[in-house]
Structure 1
């Protein structure tokens, strides 16, 4: 928090906070995700302001090292999942929620919820949850082109649910190579697999069974 004060301009504040902590690339990623979330929200008649806000703040907890994140979740008085102990990086979504609330004064549950599950999604996800989840995967923060990008974009033309499922199923088909399978992601996969309308796209949501 050194040399950092809120100005009321969220984009400026997020960028300043991250750059002050030497995370310029994350600042750029966050701006891109915010814009993409806003675009998707407009496309699907969602809450554009909430989507953009959640996009700007979703990775704000990058300032904490991976190996400290499970401990931080516990210090915040939250239950630490076993999967977060094994793969602490995944805990950043829950820490970002707290930071958005406590540092950036975000009180809207619609925004906080989306931030909290932006990496894994979860069952009974809200529209804004799904919007941020998909936007984050389209504007990913790794070098190169995402291997799933054409599929997720094509499925986004059908629905938010199709797009979210296409990414989750991409992981699901490769779950043996993952360090962990987060229980929220497993629940979202099961729900979307059973709930996504069939016959409207080139793949079947039941393919992974």
Structure 2
């Protein structure tokens, strides 16, 4: 395991029950709210996966693990990716909060021994999505937006839920388009978000 992670895993042992393990990991590091959010996202991802005939166990695992990097202070996350030998995008340096999706992937591998690429990919792009995203990527992305981690109801929720009746891709695009309409107010536009927007718009034949 990377030395960077050992501080956060003192007396932490995997039990084989991922929901229990993620909850224990986050709460022991004083991120109880993130643990609750992660459990909600995991269950919503599982529900969505079943409704679209995809693997619910994979979706739930990715949902549970997507925010485990919350234990690191936001301002440190881009620098940690660099210490791990990963290329950090300029947008991630400007707005390091957004680097957490990639950091969570590494932590899922290193701490939770996750090797399934479907799970890791969905974790890695759960905030921005990416070009040529898989259906599992889209499921976890949408689950995170439905079970958002802020008070009250998401302002875009009706758009997303109505498009779920069409397809998971349409629901993902509904959220991205919501951001796109407000992109002048975003701190950064992550290139993966741009790629996802253009890719889905083309594939879904949206004008």
Q: TM-score when scaled to structure 1? A: 0.94
Deviations for 1:95-135, whole angstroms, at most 9, x for unmatched residues?
00000001000000010000000000001111110000000
Counterpart residue number, 1:151: 159
| Post-superposition offset of 1:144 | 1.1
Q: Does 1:176 align with 2:191?
A: no
Counterpart in the other structure of 1:133: 141
Task: Provide the residue aligned with 2:128 in structure 1.
Answer: 120
Shift in Å, 1:43: 0.7
Is the counterpart of residue 70 in structure 1 residue 78 in structure 2?
yes
Question: What runs of 5+ residues in structure 1 fail to find an aligned partner?
Answer: 198-204
Between the aligned partners of 2:136 and 2:55, the Cα distance in structure 1 is 7
Aligned to 1:19: 27
Between the two proteins, the alignment pairs up a number of residues equal to: 199
> How far did residue 178 of structure 1 move?
0.3
Distance in 2, Cα, partners of 1:104 & 1:32 = 19
CA deviations on 1:177-199 (whole Å, 9 max, x unpaired) are 000000000000001112214xx
**Runs (5+) with no aligned partner, structure 2:** 1-8
Query: Which stretches of structure 1, 4 residues or more, deviate above 6 A after TM superposition?
Result: none
The separation in 1 between residues aligned to 2:91 and 2:38, in whole angstroms, is 25
Cα-to-partner distance string for 1:160-193 (whole Å, 9 max, x where unaligned): 1110000000000000000000000000000111
Residues 1:164 and 2:172 aligned together = yes
- Distance, in Å, in 2 between the alignment partners of 1:161 and 1:10 is 27
- For the pair 1:30 / 2:38, whether they are aligned, the reply is yes
Q: Which residue of 1 aligns with 2:116?
A: 108
Distance 2:67 2:162 in 1: 26
Alpha-carbon RMSD across the aligned residues, in angstroms, is 0.7
Tell me what 2:3 maps to. Answer: none
- Alignment of 1:192 with 2:197, yes or no, is no
Distance (Å, rounded) in 2 between the aligned partners of 1:94 and 1:166:
23
Aligned counterpart for 2:13 among listed residues 5, 14, 38: 5
**Alpha-carbon distance in structure 2 between the residues aligned to 1:100 and 1:70:** 17
